[in-house]
Structure 1
Amino acid sequence: MKKLFSPKLLLLAALAGVAPTALRAQSAQGALPAAPPAAGVMALSLPQAVSYAVQNKSTLLATRLAEQTARARVGEIKSAGLPQVNVGANVADNFKLQKSLVDFSRFGGAPLQGTKLTAQDIAAAQAGTAVTLSPAYGEAPQTGPTPLAFGLQYAGSTSASVSQLLFDGSYLIGLKAAKVYEQLAQRQTQQAEIDVVEQVSKAYYSTLVARSRLALLGRNVQRLDTVLNQTRKIFKAGFAEKLDVDRLQVQRNNLVVEQQKAQRLTELSLALLKFQMGLPQQQPVVLTDSLGAALVDAGALRKRLGVANFNTGGGVAGTSALPGQPTATPGQENAAEQTRLDQQAALSGGRAPQAVAAGNYNNRVEFSVLETQQALAGLDLRNRRASAYPRLLLTGAYGFTGSDPRLGGLLEFRGPNSRSSRGFLNQNWFGFGNVGLTLQVPVFDGFRRKYQVQQGRLAQQTIEQGFNTLRQSIDLQDAQSRTTLVNALDVLDNQKANLDLAADVARVTRIKFNAGVGSNLEVITAETELRAAQTNYYGAIYDVLVAKVDRDKATGELYNQVKK
C-alpha cells in the first residue's frame, strides 16, 4: 500500500490532471475542414438534390450535432453510476500562522514554595520511620489567555478518494429517460429532414417550371420574328401598312423584355435551389429531370383522392357527384347529417374518417415527437417523486499530510524511518485512510418536492392538450391540402383547355393573315392571349406540384414519395 500510494505519486497524479485539458484544446483546433464543392458541372435529379441536401444542409448538420449532444448526455447520465475517483494535492505557505488564545494558568496551578520540616519529622526519620512531607504552595499567578500559534510555516497534503453509488432512485429513472431523450433527438432530426425535403422539392419544381417557361418564350420570340419578317415583306410589297409592322415590333420588344425577366427569374430559382440544398452558389448545376416527368398523373391522383373530373363533372368514373355535393339517399331522415358525412367522405377520399386520421397521425413525425415528449414528461414526474428515496454511497480515501519549517524540507517527504544527522526521528509526512458508507435520507425540504411534482403533473396535462391541438391541426392540414390539390388540378385542366384553344386561335389567325383575309391586329391579339394562356398554364403546373408536395407532407408520405 505504501508503494502504491506514496505522497510523491499522489502529488504527481494531481498535477498531471492539467495535461489532458491542453491536449484537448490542441486537438479541437485541428478539426477536419469542410468538404470542398464538387468540381465541374453537377447533374441533379430531384432524388439526388434531396439526398445532397439531407447530407449537407447546414441546418440539418446543426440538428445532427444536437443528436450527438443527446448521445453525449446519455453517457453523462450513465457515468454517474460508475466509480468516481479524485486525486488532489495542496501546498501552503503559512507566512502568518493563525494563533489561538490559551490560558496556561489552568494547566500549571499554584507554584511550589518549599516544604516545612519539623523536629518531629527529623526524629522520626532518624528512627527509620517514613515521613511524608507536606509541600507548601503559593498563590497561582493569573496570567490570562496567551496567544499561541499551532503548526509550521509550510504545510502540504495529498490524497486520493473514491465513491461508488449503491442506490439512487433518480439515477435508475434517469437511465430510462436518457434513452428516450436520445429517441427525441432522432425524431427531431427526422422532422428537420422532412422540412428540408419539402423546401428542396418546391425549389426544384420552381426551377423546372421557370426553365420550361423560358424555353417557351424563346420559341414565341422565334415565331413572332417569323410573322414580323413576313409582315415587313408584305409592307415592302405595298399590301400592309407601316402601322402593322410597328405593332408587331412593339409586341416583339415586350416579349424580349419578358424573356429577359424570365431568364433572371430562372437564375434566381436556381440560386434558391442551391441555397435549400446547402450547395455553394459558385457550383454549376444542371437539372436532369424534365417538367413532363415531374407532372403527376392527374387521373390516378384524382382516383386516389376520390374526386370528380373537371371536364365530366362526375366522380372518378364520371358517375358520382362532385365533392361536397350531397347524394340523395332513399329513406334519408336527416339531410344535414348525410351532407356532412358525404363531405367527410369526399375529403377523405372515400375512406372512413377514423381510418384516415389514425393513418395520418401515425405517419406524421410531429405526432411521434409529441409522444416521445410525453414519455419524457412521465419519466420526469417519476424522477421528482423518486427524490424522496434515500441515497446510499460507498466512500473511501487515502492520503498524506505534512509540514516543515522550510519549503525544501516539506518537499523531502520524510517517512517514518527518516532520522536526522544526530539520529533523531524527523518524520514530516503522515498517512491517513478511511472507508465508509454515506446514507442520505431526505426528511423535509420545505415542500419543494411537493411543488415539483405538481409542476410535473401540469407538464403532462399540457402535453395532453398538445395532442388534441396536434390532432386538430393534422386533420385541418389533411383536408386543406386535399382541397388545395383538387382545386389546383381543376385549374390545371381549365388552363390546359384554355391553352389548347388559344393555340388553335393563334394558328388559325396566322393562316388567315398569311392568306390575306385576316388583319394584323387579330394576329397580335391572338398572340397576346396565347402568351397569357401559356403563363397561366405554367403557373397552374407549379401550383399542382406545390400542392402535391404539401399533400404528401400532410399525409406523412413526402420523404417516401421523393425517393421513388
Structure 2
Amino acid sequence: MNKTLQRPRHWLGAALLGLAPLALLAQTPQGPPPVLGTGGPLALSLPQAIRYAVQTKSSLLSTRLAEQTAAAKVGEIKAQGLPQLSVAANLADNFKLQKSLTDFGAFAGAPLSGTTLTQRDIAAAQSGQAVTLSPAYGEKAPSAPTPIAFGLQYAGNTSASFSQQLFDGSYLIGLKAAKVYQELSKKQTQQAEIDVVEQVSKAYYSTLVARSRLALLARNVQRLDTVLYQTNQTFKAGFAEKLDVDRLRVQRNNLVVEQQKAQRLTELSIALLKFQMGLPQAQLVTLTDSLNAAVVDAGALRQRLGAASFSTGGGADGLGALPTPPTGTDAGAPVAPAPGINNGQPVQADAAFNYNNRIEFSTLQTQQALAGLDLRNRTAGAYPRLSLTAAYGFTGSANAVKDLFAFRGPDSRTAPTPLSPNGLINQNWFGFGNVGLALTMPVFDGFRRHYQVQQARIAQQTIERGLETLRQSIDLQDAQSRTTLVNALDVLDNQKDNLTLAADVARVTRIKFNAGVGSNIEVITAETSLREAQTNYYAAIYDVLVAKVDRDKATGELYQQAK
C-alpha cells in the first residue's frame, strides 16, 4: 500500500515540477490558433496547443523580435555602401570676433615716404601739360604687428555634402557576415520554437496521464465501495467479521486520499499546460486527445529502432555482435584496440546520421562561418579605402541679423552716389563647391590589427573544437536515446502483462469472496496489487512517451514534426 501511494507522487509530481521530460510529439497541422474569449472552455488537441504556443507565447515573440532586429542590422550594413547625402546649416553670433596679429610693414616692400618733383615736371606743369608724379619709396618705417579681426559679427552657412564608397574590403565581407548573422538569428528562433513545442507537448501529456490516473482511481473507489457494501451486508447477516469491514474502510479511506491528491495534481498539470502555452490561468481548457491515442505500437517501433550498439549499429533483435579480445595476451595488461574497434567510444552505429538535422549543430556551424568572416574582416582592415566626395554650399556674413538674412548675391549693389554713380557691389553670400577622391591607406596601427586577427583566429579554432565535442555528444545521445526507448518499450510490455494478470487475480478473488470460499485479506491484497500494477502501467506509458521525445530530439526530427 505504501508503494501505491508513493509511486504517483514520484512520477506525476516530477513531471509537474519539470524534473522529468514528458510526451510524444504529434505532427502539427498548419492553421490559425484557437480563438479565446468565446465564454466557454477552450477545446485543445495537442496540435492546436502547440500551434497556439508557437504563434502567441511571449518568449517566442521576443525571439522573433530579435530576428527582426537582425534583418534590420543587415539593412544597416547594406546602407553603408549606398550614396550618403547630408545637408547642414549654421548660424553664429560672433559677439567677440577673434583677432590675429598682422605685420603690414611686410606688404609690398617699404612704405611710401613721399614723391620726387623734378625741374622737368615743374616746367611741364607750367606749360599746361599734365604731370604724373611718381611715388618715391624710402626706408621701411619701423612698426609693430597690428591686431586685425577678420569677419563680421553675424555669420551663416549652408551646405550639402555627398559621398560614395568606391572600395572597402571590410564592407564587402560585412555584407556576407550580415546575411550569415540573419541566418543565425533564424536558427535561434527555430531552436526556441523546438523548446516551446517540447514543453507544451510534455505539459499536455502530463495532463493526459494525470487525468487518466484520476479516472482510474475513481473507478477503483467505486469498485471498492461495492466490495465494502457487500462485506457490510455479509457482516450484518452474520457471515463476516467486523474486522473485515474495518479493513475495507481503511483501504477505502486511503484510496480516497490518493484520489484527492491526484485531483490536485491534475489541476496543477493543467495550470502548467496553460503556462507553457502562454494562456491566462483563468481560461478554462478541455483536452480533446486521449492517452490511448498517444500510446505507440511497441513492437513496430522496436522493430524499426533496433538496439543501440557501438560496434554493429544494433539490429531488429536488439542484439549485436560484440568484439572479443585477442587471444594469447596477458589478462592484466591493456590490449590495444583492433582495427575497426573504437575502444568503447560511442559511434554512429553504421547509420547515415545527418548532424545538420540537429539545430544545435547547424547553429554552431553558422557561428563558425561568422567567426571565419570576422577573421577575414580583421585581415581586410589592412586594405585601402577609396571614396568619392563632393560638397556645395553658401556662406555669408553681416554686421546685423537683418542684413545676414537679406541674402544678397553678386548682382546686388548699393545706392548710387556722386562718387559711384553705378553703386558698389553689396554681396553678402558667396557660394563654394568641391569634388574629389578620398583614399585612406592604413600604414601602422601599433600592431592593433595583428592582435585582433590573432583573437579572431583563436575564436574560430574554439568553435571547431566545440563542433567536434558536439559531434561526440550527438553520437552518445543517439545511442542512449535508442537504448532508453527500447528498454522503455520492454518495460511497457511487461507492465501491460502484469496489469492483465493483476486484474484477473483481483476478479477471481472477488468471485471467491462473494461465493464465501475466499478471505477478505485476499481481496485487499489483490486490490492493492492491482492498483500497484495500474500505477506501474501508467508510469511505463509515461516513460515510453518521454523516451520517444528524447529519441526525436536526438535524431533532429522534433522540428520537422512540429512544422
SS at match of 1:399: strand
What is the rounded CA distance, in whole Å, between the counterparts of 1:254 and 1:132 in structure 2?
137
What is the rounded CA distance, in whole Å, between the counterparts of 2:490 and 2:264 in structure 1?
30
**2:116 touches 2:133 (CA, 8 Å); kept in 1?**
no
Q: Which moved more, 1:402-411 or 1:103-112?
A: 103-112
What residue number does 1:148 align with? 148
The verdict on how the C-alpha distance between 1:344 and 1:222 changes in structure 2, with shifts beyond 3 A counting, is farther
**Structure 1 residue 519: Cα displacement:** 2.3
**1:232 touches 1:245 (CA, 8 Å); kept in 2?**
yes
Which segments of 5 or more consecutive residues in structure 2 lack a partner in the other structure?
1-33, 309-313, 417-422
What residue number does 2:413 align with? 419
What is the rounded CA distance, in whole Å, between the counterparts of 1:301 and 1:344 in structure 2?
27
**Structure 1 residue 235: Cα displacement:** 2.1
SS at match of 1:157: strand
What residue number does 2:465 align with? 465
The verdict on how the C-alpha distance between 1:102 and 1:501 changes in structure 2, with shifts beyond 3 A counting, is same
What residue number does 1:91 align with? 91
What is the rounded CA distance, in whole Å, between the counterparts of 1:183 and 1:136 in structure 2?
83
What residue number does 1:25 align with? none
SS at match of 1:359: coil
Residues 5-84 of structure 1 mapped to structure 2, 5 A cutoff: 37-39=36-38, 40-84=40-84
**Structure 1 residue 369: Cα displacement:** 1.3
**2:105 touches 2:111 (CA, 8 Å); kept in 1?**
no
Question: Larger % of helix: which?
Answer: 1
What is the rounded CA distance, in whole Å, between the counterparts of 1:524 and 1:340 in structure 2?
58
Q: State whether structure 2 residue 391 is matched by structure 1 residue 397.
A: yes
**Structure 1 residue 545: Cα displacement:** 0.3
What is the rounded CA distance, in whole Å, between the counterparts of 1:124 and 1:87 in structure 2?
66
Q: Alignment identity in percent?
A: 74
The verdict on how the C-alpha distance between 1:383 and 1:134 changes in structure 2, with shifts beyond 3 A counting, is closer
The verdict on how the C-alpha distance between 1:552 and 1:132 changes in structure 2, with shifts beyond 3 A counting, is closer
**Structure 1 residue 205: Cα displacement:** 1.4
**1:125 touches 1:131 (CA, 8 Å); kept in 2?**
no
What residue number does 1:361 align with? 355
What is the rounded CA distance, in whole Å, between the counterparts of 1:119 and 1:418 in structure 2?
48
Q: Which moved more, 1:105-114 or 1:411-420?
A: 105-114
Residues 217-256 of structure 1 mapped to structure 2, 5 A cutoff: 217-256=217-256
**Structure 1 residue 105: Cα displacement:** 4.8
Q: State whether structure 2 residue 379 is matched by structure 1 residue 385.
A: yes
**Structure 1 residue 61: Cα displacement:** 1.6
Residues 107-256 of structure 1 mapped to structure 2, 5 A cutoff: 107=107, 140-142=141-143, 144-256=144-256
| CA-to-aligned-CA distance 1:178-202 (integer Å, 9 cap, x gap) | 2222222222222222222221221
Q: State whether structure 2 residue 537 is matched by structure 1 residue 543.
A: no
SS at match of 1:281: coil
**Structure 1 residue 551: Cα displacement:** 0.6
What is the rounded CA distance, in whole Å, between the counterparts of 1:149 and 1:495 in structure 2?
103
AA partner of residue 208 (structure 1): L
What residue number does 1:408 align with? 402
The verdict on how the C-alpha distance between 1:338 and 1:225 changes in structure 2, with shifts beyond 3 A counting, is farther
What residue number does 1:552 align with? 552
| CA-to-aligned-CA distance 1:259-278 (integer Å, 9 cap, x gap) | 11111111111121222222
The verdict on how the C-alpha distance between 1:195 and 1:393 changes in structure 2, with shifts beyond 3 A counting, is same
AA partner of residue 415 (structure 1): G
What residue number does 1:444 align with? 444
SS at match of 2:434: strand
| CA-to-aligned-CA distance 1:13-36 (integer Å, 9 cap, x gap) | xxxxxxxxxxxxxxxxxxxxxx98
What is the rounded CA distance, in whole Å, between the counterparts of 2:339 and 2:494 in structure 1?
27
SS at match of 2:543: helix
What is the rounded CA distance, in whole Å, between the counterparts of 2:342 and 2:90 in structure 1?
83
The verdict on how the C-alpha distance between 1:114 and 1:551 changes in structure 2, with shifts beyond 3 A counting, is closer
**Structure 1 residue 92: Cα displacement:** 0.9
Residues 497-536 of structure 1 mapped to structure 2, 5 A cutoff: 497-536=497-536
What is the rounded CA distance, in whole Å, between the counterparts of 2:88 and 2:132 in structure 1?
64
**1:323 touches 1:343 (CA, 8 Å); kept in 2?**
no
| CA-to-aligned-CA distance 1:392-419 (integer Å, 9 cap, x gap) | 1111101000111111221222222223
What is the rounded CA distance, in whole Å, between the counterparts of 1:463 and 1:221 in structure 2?
59
What residue number does 2:8 align with? none
**1:489 touches 1:544 (CA, 8 Å); kept in 2?**
yes
The verdict on how the C-alpha distance between 1:111 and 1:76 changes in structure 2, with shifts beyond 3 A counting, is closer
Q: Which moved more, 1:291-300 or 1:109-118?
A: 109-118
SS at match of 2:92: strand
**1:325 touches 1:339 (CA, 8 Å); kept in 2?**
no
Residues 268-279 of structure 1 mapped to structure 2, 5 A cutoff: 268-279=268-279
The verdict on how the C-alpha distance between 1:514 and 1:405 changes in structure 2, with shifts beyond 3 A counting, is same
What is the rounded CA distance, in whole Å, between the counterparts of 1:455 and 1:343 in structure 2?
36
**1:164 touches 1:393 (CA, 8 Å); kept in 2?**
yes
**Structure 1 residue 361: Cα displacement:** 1.0
What residue number does 1:27 align with? none
What residue number does 1:476 align with? 476
The verdict on how the C-alpha distance between 1:231 and 1:395 changes in structure 2, with shifts beyond 3 A counting, is same
SS at match of 1:438: strand
**1:86 touches 1:161 (CA, 8 Å); kept in 2?**
yes
What is the rounded CA distance, in whole Å, between the counterparts of 2:135 and 2:366 in structure 1?
92
**Structure 1 residue 247: Cα displacement:** 2.2
The verdict on how the C-alpha distance between 1:256 and 1:146 changes in structure 2, with shifts beyond 3 A counting, is same
**Structure 1 residue 41: Cα displacement:** 2.8
TM-score, normalised with respect to structure 2: 0.82
What residue number does 2:364 align with? 370
The verdict on how the C-alpha distance between 1:73 and 1:131 changes in structure 2, with shifts beyond 3 A counting, is closer
**1:324 touches 1:343 (CA, 8 Å); kept in 2?**
no
**1:360 touches 1:474 (CA, 8 Å); kept in 2?**
no
What is the rounded CA distance, in whole Å, between the counterparts of 1:479 and 1:428 in structure 2?
86
SS at match of 2:184: helix
The verdict on how the C-alpha distance between 1:498 and 1:86 changes in structure 2, with shifts beyond 3 A counting, is same
The verdict on how the C-alpha distance between 1:517 and 1:562 changes in structure 2, with shifts beyond 3 A counting, is farther
Aligned-CA RMSD value: 3.6
AA partner of residue 382 (structure 1): R
Residues 307-346 of structure 1 mapped to structure 2, 5 A cutoff: 307=307, 323=319, 326=322
| CA-to-aligned-CA distance 1:55-95 (integer Å, 9 cap, x gap) | 12222222211211111111111111110000000011111
What is the rounded CA distance, in whole Å, between the counterparts of 1:503 and 1:463 in structure 2?
57
The verdict on how the C-alpha distance between 1:343 and 1:214 changes in structure 2, with shifts beyond 3 A counting, is farther
SS at match of 2:353: helix
Which segments of 5 or more consecutive residues in structure 1 lack a partner in the other structure?
1-34, 309-314
**2:307 touches 2:482 (CA, 8 Å); kept in 1?**
no
**1:326 touches 1:338 (CA, 8 Å); kept in 2?**
no
**1:110 touches 1:141 (CA, 8 Å); kept in 2?**
no
AA partner of residue 140 (structure 1): A
AA partner of residue 407 (structure 1): V
**Structure 1 residue 133: Cα displacement:** 9.3
What residue number does 1:291 align with? 291
**Structure 1 residue 145: Cα displacement:** 3.5
**Structure 1 residue 211: Cα displacement:** 0.8
**Structure 1 residue 221: Cα displacement:** 0.9
What is the rounded CA distance, in whole Å, between the counterparts of 2:511 and 2:448 in structure 1?
90
TM-score, normalised with respect to structure 1: 0.81
Q: State whether structure 2 residue 429 is matched by structure 1 residue 429.
A: yes
